[in-house]
Chains A and B, each alone.
Chain A
Amino acid sequence: MDDTFPMDDLDRRIVLATQAGLPLVPRPYLALAEQLGVTEAEVRQRLARLLAAGAIRRIGAVPNHYAIGYTANGMSVWQIDPTVIDAVGARVGGLQSVTHCYRRPDHPPAWPYNLFAMVHGKSRAEVEAEVGRVATLIQAEFPGALGARDILFSTRILKKTGLRLGE
């Protein structure tokens, strides 16, 4: 695992206080500071440090994909020759249509796929067409590297709470 950010007690309390969201008041960092018994400047500095360290990816709006028209969510999965998978992953992960791209272990024979690329689209046909273009690109640039592939469309969100640290 990469280096982890050494979170102290105040960092942890800031995570707990903001994991459900930032207060919707004119001075949200002051509201947090009052809740935590520290200064507003301290809260702002801690958040800046967590951002700089990559412990916070970003602060902002987290949209419900379905609400903004991205109703088709296809998890494309690929069986890629392990000797070139990192080059293929870097290429696929850099594509505009791919929001997440990971190498993961396969579980043969039930699951032969070792590369996962999430493709969001406004229709199933749009996602299928895009995944087809990705397949063509892999075959052209990495001849012989692609085995089986599939797309797993989501049919229902069963739960979506995001990360929750315990109290």
Chain B
Amino acid sequence: MADAVEQAKPFRRAALAPAREPDELDRRIINALQGDFPLSPEPYAEAAARLGISEAELLARLQSLLDDRILTRFGPMFQIERLGGAFCLAAMAVPEAEFERVAEQVNALPQVAHNYAREHAFNMWFVLATETPEGIDAAVQAIEAATGYPVYPFPKEKEYFVEMKLQA
């Protein structure tokens, strides 16, 4: 079991790593398309015209950016709280020897939207996303039961600013 986990680790890392470096056109597309995507009937043609390329070229590039994992998604970013659901950051302090097992158990829950290893005594940080606020407590309890370690929830008490746009 431990061997299987060890062997699976580099594969999972590779699966998330980008397959190539973005070129100049990729960067222009990423910078131009981080918001304000048109809601017109032919939005890609409109966006392509702004970039000075053809619609077919934009569609092919977006597919390639997704295939090569330079983009994780192309589409709407939902604000689940406005839809009645809930997000919650949570952390665990997991002994190194148990880290891979616990990561597998945490990641197995569909409510875990993302999970990061970080350098700290609290070394595993994940975001729970559930359709109802009550779902957060249930997910926390499920993770504690599955892993045997306490989960520290860090619910957002106040959001000061969110601007997730990065220059490529």
Contact = CB atoms under 8 A, between A and B. Distances in A.
Interface in B131-168: 131, 133, 152, 154-164, 166, 168
A102 B157 contact: yes
A24 B75 CA distance: 10
Interface string B51-76: 00001000100110110111111111
Interface in A8-27: 15, 18-22, 24-27
Contacts of A7: 83-84
Contacts of B49: none
Nearest to B39: A44
Contacts of B118: 75, 152-155
A152 B122 contact: yes
Given A47-B39, A103-B157, 5 more contacts: A4-B83, A27-B41, A55-B79, A67-B22, A100-B164
B85 to A, nearest CB: 8
24 contacts: A4-B83, A22-B37, A24-B59, A24-B74, A26-B59, A44-B41, A51-B39, A55-B79, A59-B39, A59-B77, A60-B74, A61-B29, A67-B70, A67-B71, A68-B166, A68-B168, A99-B164, A104-B154, A105-B155, A111-B122, A154-B116, A159-B106, A159-B115, A162-B72
- Counting contact residues on chain B (CB < 8 A from A), the size range is 35 or more
B140 to A, nearest CB: 13
Contacts of B122: 110-111, 152
B98 interface: no
A63 interface: yes
Interface of B: 12-13, 16-18, 21-22, 27, 29-30, 33-37, 39-45, 55, 59, 62-63, 65-66, 68-85, 89, 93, 103, 106-107, 110, 112-122, 124-126, 129, 131, 133, 152, 154-164, 166, 168
Contacts of B78: 15, 19, 55-57, 163
Interface of A: 1-2, 4-5, 7, 15, 18-22, 24-30, 40, 44, 47-48, 50-51, 53-70, 73, 75, 86, 89-90, 92-94, 98-105, 107, 110-111, 116, 120, 150, 152-166
Contact of B41 (A5, A15, A29): A29
Contacts of B131: 165-166
B42 A158 contact: no
B79 A61 contact: no
B156 to A, nearest CB: 5
Contacts of A30: 41
Contact of B75 (A18, A54, A66): A18
A64 B84 CA distance: 27
Give the 7 A-B residue pairs with the shortest CB-CB distance, closest first: A93-B160, A93-B161, A67-B18, A22-B75, A158-B115, A101-B160, A89-B160
Contact of B63 (A24, A154, A159): A24
B39 A29 contact: yes
Contacts of A18: 75-76
